[in-house]
Amino acid sequence: MSILSTEQVSHSYNDKWLFTDLHFALQKGDRVALVGINGTGKSTLLKILAEIVIPNKGKVVKEKGLRIGYLPQEPDFSDLKTINDFIFSADNEQQQLIKEYEQLIENEDVTSKKFLDITEKLTALNAWEYENNIKTILSRFQINNFEQHIESLSGGQKKRLALAKLLIDEPDIYILDEPTNHLDIETIEWLEKLLTSGSKTVLLVSHDRYFLDNICTEIRELDKGQVYLYKGNYAYFLEKKAEREANEILAADKARNLWRKELEWMRRQPQARGTKAKARIESFYDLEEKSKGPKKKDQVELSMQVSRQGNKILELEDAGFSVPNKKILSPFTYTFKKADRIGLAGKNGSGKTTFLNLITGGISPTEGTVSVGETTKYGYYKQEGLSFKTDERVLDIVKNVADYIEMKNGEVITASQLLTKFLFPPEKQFGFVNKLSGGEKKRLQLMRVLMANPNFLILDEPSNDLDIDTLNVLEEFLENYPGVLVLVSHDRYLIDKLTEQLFIFPGNGEIVIYNGNYADYKLEQELLNKKPEKKIEKPKAQEKKAKLSFKEQKEFEGLENEIAELEETVNSLTEELSNTSDHVELQKIAEKIEKTKTTLDEKTERWMELAELI
């Protein structure tokens, strides 16, 4: 039985019908991936089901009392000032008690009675486990300062905050639009476990194929206003979709051929008087509709030339990078070889960006050497996107690089012809760049990188904002790419498919070389971390916790937040350090890091003293 469904829903956007009389239903325990090319109406359908958007026709029917949690691509925090205001819902008694408890801990003037009252209420509502769950989720998303103003957060931080709140609320249905954007691999894997525990009902849109396979039990494709259901993983969906489209194209081609013959009869036919003639005319119009069926779909064409590569490509000899009192990258030696395919893995702030700047000449090593071969030609796709002026046209962006481009087969084409191959029709080419969608800007950026015919290609998070169809074409191109490939991505599928070696950044300045892809590395780590279980019988006297004084209890609980905030400050300063080239500023940041680390050590030592008393 459906707990959420649409009844003959129709909706249009900019005078174009996205879907008409659409039926879409979810049953309890369903975990569904909604896929489809950009512009088909996936996000609109999610908003309709979440009752954010009212459809032009039809309605949404849901089970009485059903709670829906919706994560948009760009969360809206209007009328909310701080993280505290957003996380703790006014209509949730447990959350409000936890909020009050957290505020009391921070208040030095609180009375013992007030503190005792709040703890008794939390115990009565069985809210201690809930409080621990909230803290676990927030710390996983690196949210520690509840008083921070939401307007000061980056786009990625806002997305993580919205996702954290949704997970804390534990709705009956999780409706998620691109939930893995701005998450690191470890957090994505944690999210997978959370969403697949229990019998959660999940509907999501995502470009992350491993995430889709690990979460979803079925895939539904929204295509030309119709929903097609596939019971199986993403690879199965691609296979069956290709079969369906091939059959539809074949049927439409046959209908077109027959329609041409019938068209001749219609032109010769006088006004029909007989029943047979009328039936044939009606059949003609049915045939005409079928002949308008799908033709072979336009697809991005990637067949760029690759510049010749000499024997010497890139050599790092004990190359490292430091700032005063801080080592960002320890000395590292590696000689790049032809057709190297390397993935970079590590958390944000672990040194990946510094490494990329080092090998591309953005910064110079403070020790050792970086030697680039004479024929090495970089192509660097950066995740921050295109840099352009508001009055620049799409065609100008390409012509700024070259007017003519050589393709893989030796053919030389114009900038306009290349744009057409990347699905930018003439009306888009002469339009302004700032009018393009996020996905179109990323596609344009990718084209600009590839048209320079690089033989050393660096891709930093290429899967963000690229639709799955373009990603599939990019993967096929990269599988046959003869140059050196360096890939940074949270998309595990992409790393596994395209890389044969990993540079691991543990976060201590070191770079560890691992021969294999991410799946191999993950399996090896799990085996190393797996220890034989031992059953330890603890004396009852040990199980009973010693009591801290009221003041010590407040101090102990406050230290947990302080330590988390200090660790976040160190990470932020370290990331800021790697993105700064001004020596005066580097010195200032390095001093801040040392001062913060000293405070962190003192707080940690005090926390351990109190922990021993428990």
Angstrom CA distances, 328 to 74, 186, 460, 506, 588, stand at 33, 22, 20, 12, 15
What 48-54 contacts at long range (C-beta under 8 Å, 24+ apart), as own/partner pairs, is 48/6, 48/9, 48/11, 49/4, 49/6, 49/24, 49/175, 49/203, 50/175, 53/11
70 CB neighbour count, 10 Å cutoff? 20
Mean pLDDT to the nearest integer, 531-551: 48
Mean pLDDT to the nearest integer, 100-118: 67
Mean pLDDT to the nearest integer, 111-118: 68
Q: Which of 181, 151, 146 is nearest to 165 (CA)?
A: 146
Q: Which of 95, 93, 94, 74 is nearest to 84 (CA)?
A: 95
Cα distance between residue 204 and residue 50, in whole Å: 12
Residue 466's identity, in one-letter code, is L
The pLDDT value given to residue 64: 93
pLDDT digits (tens, 9 = 90+) for 568-590: 888 787 777 667 666 667 667 77
Mean pLDDT to the nearest integer, 400-406: 83
In this predicted structure, the answer to whether residue 540 has a pLDDT above a threshold of 50 is no
Q: List 218's β-bridge partners, or say none.
A: 32
Q: Which of 330, 245, 333, 329 is nearest to 295 (CA)?
A: 245
Q: List 204's β-bridge partners, or say none.
A: 33, 176
pLDDT digits (tens, 9 = 90+) for 333-385: 999 999 999 999 887 778 898 999 999 999 999 999 999 999 999 999 987 77
Q: Of 92-96, 269-273, 539-543, 580-584, which range is least confident?
A: 539-543
The pLDDT value given to residue 586: 65
Top-confidence residue, 155 or 278:
155
The pLDDT value given to residue 550: 60
* Residue appearing with tokens 């050393």: 456
Chain-centroid distance of CA 349 in Å reads: 18
Top-confidence residue, 545 or 393:
393
342 CB neighbour count, 10 Å cutoff? 19
The pLDDT value given to residue 545: 41
In this predicted structure, the answer to whether residue 105 has a pLDDT above a threshold of 80 is no
**Percent of the chain, pLDDT > 70?**
81
pLDDT digits (tens, 9 = 90+) for 491-515: 888 999 999 999 999 888 999 999 9
First vs last C-alpha separation in the chain: 50
Cα distance between residue 561 and residue 235, in whole Å: 44
**By the 8 A CB rule, do 73 and 177 touch?**
yes
Q: Which residues contact 63 (CB under 8 A, 6 or more apart)?
A: 3, 4, 172
In this predicted structure, the answer to whether residue 18 has a pLDDT above a threshold of 80 is yes
pLDDT digits (tens, 9 = 90+) for 182-227: 888 888 999 999 999 989 999 999 988 899 999 999 999 998 888 9
Cα distance between residue 101 and residue 309, in whole Å: 64
Highest mean pLDDT among 139-148, 190-199, 535-544: 190-199
The pLDDT value given to residue 109: 62
pLDDT digits (tens, 9 = 90+) for 386-401: 777 777 898 988 888 8
pLDDT digits (tens, 9 = 90+) for 466-496: 777 778 788 888 888 899 999 998 888 899 9
The pLDDT value given to residue 7: 93
Q: Does residue 66 come out as left (phi exceeding 0), alpha (psi in the -120 to 50 range) or beta?
A: beta
Mean pLDDT to the nearest integer, 434-455: 83
